[in-house]
Structure 1
Amino acid sequence: MKIYLIGYMGSGKSTLGKILAQEQEMNFIDFDHFLEEKEGKSIAKIFEERGEIYFRKKESEYLNELLQGYDNTIISLGGGTPCYGDAMERIKAAEGTSVYINVGVAELTQRLWSQRDHRPVLKHQDTPEKLEEFIRKHLFERSYYYNQAAVKLMVKGEPVGELVAQLQQKLF
């Protein structure tokens, strides 16, 4: 079994994925960390040195690698991973189940405000209002891809343990 967690940055893909993988005795891969290891530098550094186009090209290449192997694994994809090129089509065609972790704009804004310096696409959002407007627009653009996931988990402030239990019920 393979599970692909998708959703906006800060939605909890990695947090939920790690716990779910541990409870189900599965492997876990955080795609952002996987990509950073392959490239030998942080995503922020890749954006700074090579730009977003280079990053998205490499992201697509490494996604192919993950789609081909890694059985019995939960993979937390990057927030933009399914939204570029034919990535979502490849995810849907691959062995496994895609899960959209759907978190509302207000909750995402609250979660991401303190993290924006470490996230290249959020770096220039210098007020909570600008950040919220950016997330709202970005999420609107990406929702077309996210909503193609086979399973959807609506998050409305529930504790992590409850969300993991909901995922288990939907997937196993």
Structure 2
Amino acid sequence: MNNETRIVLTGFMGVGKSTIARFLASLLKCGKIDLDTFIEQNERKTIAEIIETAGESRFRQIETENLRRALTGGEARILALGGGAWTTEENRRLIKEQNLTTVWLESSFEHCWRNIRSSKRERPLAGNKTRARQLFDERVKFYCLADWHFIIKPDLTSFEIAKKIAEEVFSMKFD
């Protein structure tokens, strides 16, 4: 892959997409967009507020509208999706149309759940472990559609994972 490659990070909530995107953008010296943050800035509400007031279905529409906006901006080479964005067919189509390379950050449910529980971010769709596990199981079949799969090992830091992605997807070399 060349240095103009643009990628999308997908994976379950709590896997570390936002953090890895930040490190990856730093390594590549390029722009990045965190879709959840992008939505919150544009809508002037948190994701939790949107879901709680408008419902998940309306949130998914808002998410797609904001994804379209983020993709047409074109300045960012790294895009971190929210955990459910990749499950929407329209979102996958928009991403494919832009020729972005998709990377699934694959991890165990337990790893994600630990991160969800320790996060300050409110996650209304993961209200309890049973519901979160159900979502995890439902979404895996969509995550598998990504171009690349990176297995997140608990002994690796987010920076080390970003470095591996930079090496493998972008063919970068580090000392």
Which one has more relative contact order, counting CA pairs under 8 Å at least 6 apart? Answer: 2
Give the TM-score of the pair, scaled to structure 2: 0.86
Please name the residue that 2:8 is paired with.
Answer: 4
Corresponding residue for residue 128 of structure 1: none
Q: Secondary structure at the match of 2:102?
A: strand
Aligned CA RMSD, in angstroms, stands at 1.7
1:119 to 1:72, Cα distance in 2 relative to 1, 3 A: closer
- How far, CA to CA, are the matches of 2:29 and 2:123 in structure 1? 30
TM-score, length-normalised on structure 1? 0.88
Q: Which moved more, 1:134-143 or 1:28-37?
A: 134-143
Alignment partner of 1:150 out of 144, 147, 151: 147
Matching residue of 2:27: 23
Number of residue pairs matched by the alignment? 165
2:117 aligned to 103, 113, 120, which one? 113
Q: CA deviation at 1:116?
A: 7.7
SS, match of residue 59 in structure 2: helix
Gaps of 5+ in 2: 171-175
Provide the identity percentage.
31
Q: Which amino acid aligns with 1:141?
A: E
CA distance in 1, matches of 2:76, 2:111: 31
Letter aligned with residue 170 of structure 1: E
Indicate whether 1:99 and 2:99 are aligned: no
2:166 counterpart residue number: 168
